[in-house]
Amino acid sequence: MASIAGRKNRRGVHHTRVAFARAAWRICLKPSSKPDLKPRLNPDQQTDPQRGQKPDRHPSPLSLSRRHFSLAAASTVLAACTTAGTQTTDNKSVTATPPPSAKTQRPIRVGLALGGGAARGFAHIGVIKGLEARNIQVDLITGTSAGSVVAALYASGLNGFALNKLALTMDEASISDWAMPFRNRGILQGVALQNFLNTTLRDRPIEKMARPLGVVSTDLRTGQAILFQRGNTGIAVRASCSIPSIFEPVRIASHEYVDGGLVSPVPASFARKMGADFVIAVDISSRPETAPTQSQFDVLMQTFTIMGQSIKNYELEKYADIVIRPNLNAMSSSDFTQRNAAILAGEEAAAKIFPEIERKLAAARTATA
């Protein structure tokens, strides 16, 4: 409808201009018989400014023709201006609508939270291998106790296969350093573990890792959970692994720190605080009814598990989107000889839960689109 109206408007303008042009030519070729309506001065009072003579009181037909032609031309110009103004108004009423811009989808930040469990921590390596095999990209990682060891190595840039190789070739004696007999705050110092990590990581601090890393420990004086995100990686991991009565507390500045599992068995909440939109938590703690208690260390670890059960369940329910629980019922927390079996259990658990991870990740991406 708008285009039809525009064509009619242009035809009207054209006919008007043709009519005015014809009228102008008739005026030029034939003097008008109509009287001149322009007011005139008295001929006796009108003089020529150049010669000082009185003008002719009877103007010639040629002057009349010129006067009428001027009037016709002026009328044509005014008509053209009027129609042009109308056309401009119509153009302004038509506005171009830009195409809708495509929405940019914000990438989902996936956080991996690795819990504590001593020798059971080798299962974390299997979980990482399973996630990598299915192209699940981890953007940041947090760890508690044994989970902090794997978290630090993974955050440095080592992939699952490199971690697997390191775990199978690692000598348990290389990370064990007995405390002096007169010391009674712990059986092990933990310095050997600290040195092992710093050597493997080439003294890379926490803030220089390939992935953002958070190491969770417990302030011995206040009982508060502390998240280390800067500083010496080996010292932070040592503090996170310092099981009371087994390892000596770690002094950093004026504070002493012990195992992070006391207050955050699986640090899903800290993964959220670090900016994760989607948290995959790995729980390697044993269930009280199935845990073997073959040694004093097993009894101590089981005691910590029972004490932290309610804390862990609350944290996982509130902050974790996915919880992976490798089947480690037959493995003791102190049995470092079953590291390969623990790695395989982690791989199997990741493969089993992958459809749920894929479905929930897709829903999370849709929600942020």
Residues 6+ apart with CB under 8 A from 105: 365, 368, 369
**Does 94 reside within a domain?**
no
What was the pLDDT predicted at 47?
39
**Counted domains in the chain:** 2
* Exposure string for 235-247, b = 16+ CB within 10 A, e = fewer: bbbbbbbbbbebb
Across 72-137, the runs of DSSP E, i.e. the strands, are 110-114
What was the pLDDT predicted at 46?
42
Q: What is the DSSP string of 200-225?
A: HTTT--GGGSSS-EEEEEEETTT--E
Residues 125 and 237 in one domain: yes
**Residue 7 sits in which domain range?**
1-32+65-75
Residues of the chain with pLDDT under 50: 1-2, 5, 8, 25, 27-57, 61-64, 71, 74, 77-89
**Does 27 reside within a domain?**
yes
Residues 286 and 149 in one domain: yes
What was the pLDDT predicted at 247?
92
331 φ/ψ angles, rounded to the nearest 5 degrees: -110, 130
**Does 80 reside within a domain?**
no
From 139, 145, 148, 240, active-site residue: 145
From 139, 148, 217, 259, active-site residue: 259
Tell me, yes or no, if the pTM score tops 0.75.
no
Contact 197, 152 (CB under 8 A): yes
What was the pLDDT predicted at 35?
41
Residues 12 and 128 in one domain: no
Integer-rounded Cα Rg, in Å, for the chain is 45
148 flagged as catalytic = no
Helix (H) or strand (E) holding 226: strand 225-228
Nearest residue to 264 via CA among 273, 255, 251, 275: 273
Tell me whether residue 98 is exposed, middle or buried, using C-beta atoms within 10 angstroms of its C-beta: 0 to 12, 13 to 18, 19 or more: exposed
**Does 42 reside within a domain?**
no
Residues 23 and 71 in one domain: yes
* Exposure string for 52-70, b = 16+ CB within 10 A, e = fewer: eeeeeeeeeeeebbeebee
What was the pLDDT predicted at 43?
38
CB atoms within 10 A of CB 219: 16
321 flagged as catalytic = no
What was the pLDDT predicted at 29?
47
Contact 250, 238 (CB under 8 A): yes
Residues 272 and 155 in one domain: yes
Nearest residue to 163 via CA among 132, 207, 202: 132
Residues 6+ apart with CB under 8 A from 3: none
